[in-house]
Amino acid sequence: MYLPSFSLKGKTALVTGAGRGIGRAIAIGYAEAGADVVIVSRTQSDLEETAEFIHRVGTKAYLFEADVTNKGQVEEIFETLDSEHVTVDILVNNAGMNIRSRALDVSDEEWETIMNTNLRSAFWFSQKAGERMKEAGGGKIITISSVAGHVALRTGVVYASTKAAIIQMTKNLALEWGQYGINVNSIGPWYFKTPLTEKLLADQSYLDDILAVTPQKRVGELPDLVGPAVFLASEAANYVNGQTLFVDGGMSIQGF
């Protein structure tokens, strides 16, 4: 038999930023693939909406209203999961944000906020999940980067730096943790319509610029991202490590 399983049945996934957008889509997609899902975000009402979808699918949802930039709250999440004997088999570091300042205008506060939200939080969650996965004999860690981590976009140098750092962090964690059966990969999306981007994508001239450099001539739909996220979380990706999968309609290969 050559076809490995794409199912997540019997697994528990933790998804940060699961209150809306890409994180909510991945959390629900993982539930549809059979996983129980630990969902983390800042807004309880958003979490409850995501949990409602998961319950309709028939798997369990564990809700944690937390700020991923607060290390104490990150530690508390894992202490609570440990006390409830919930093992995280799959971690998706999705929470992220952007402040699209020009380089000369970036304030120290903006730098801190973007770096802490997009990069430091992902490292903290990876450390906490990684030490448990090492004990458990393996696991899957997926961090959401961006094409902005691979090519220069007009959406801000600090954001781009966090997304490039995620690509390198992914390689280094894979190098250290592959021996423990842990697969560490990242996904690099191009534009997907979410609360983070909806204002930008509503501007027809901006959208025209996006489509001009996108071979598939459309922005991403959330199922376009959930499929790769399920693949990387499943047994089908057991020998994929340290990679970044760009889900971008071909944008990152666009030349002239």
Ligand X SMILES: NC(=O)C1=CN([C@@H]2O[C@H](COP(=O)(O)OP(=O)(O)OC[C@H]3O[C@@H](n4cnc5c(N)ncnc54)[C@H](O)[C@@H]3O)[C@@H](O)[C@H]2O)C=CC1
The catalytic residue positions are 159
The closest of 17, 28, 30 to 51, measured between CA atoms, is 28
Q: Does 164 bind ligand X (CB under 6 A)?
A: no
- C-beta neighbour count of 100 within 10 angstroms: 13
- Check if the beta carbon of residue 67 is closer than 8 Å to that of residue 120: no
Q: Does 246 bind ligand X (CB under 6 A)?
A: no
Q: How far is the CB of 186 from ligand LFPNKLMZ (least distance, A)?
A: 13
- Check if the beta carbon of residue 208 is closer than 8 Å to that of residue 165: no
Choose which of 21, 139, 156, 228 interacts with ligand X (CB under 6 A).
21
How would you write 25-61 as a 3-class SS string? HHHHHHHHCCCEEEEEECCHHHHHHHHHHHHHHCCCE
Q: Does 23 bind ligand X (CB under 6 A)?
A: yes
Q: 115 by DSSP, 3-state: which? A: helix
Question: Which among 53-61, 192-200, 203-211, 229-237 is the span making contact with ligand X, rule CB under 6 A?
Answer: 192-200
Q: Does 214 bind ligand X (CB under 6 A)?
A: no
Q: How far is the CB of 210 from ligand LFPNKLMZ (least distance, A)?
A: 9
Residue 177 or 192: the one with the smaller Cβ distance to ligand X is 192
Q: How far is the CB of 95 from ligand X (least distance, A)?
A: 4
- C-beta neighbour count of 180 within 10 angstroms: 15
Q: Which residue has the tokens 């094409």?
A: 147
Secondary structure percentages of the chain, helix, strand, coil, to 5: 50, 15, 35
Footprint of ligand LFPNKLMZ (CB under 6 A): 98, 100, 146-148, 155, 159, 190-191, 196-197, 200
Residue 136 or 201: the one with the smaller Cβ distance to ligand X is 201
| Residues of this chain that bind ligand X (CB under 6 A) | 17, 19-23, 41-43, 46, 67-69, 94-97, 117-118, 144, 146, 189, 191-192, 194-197
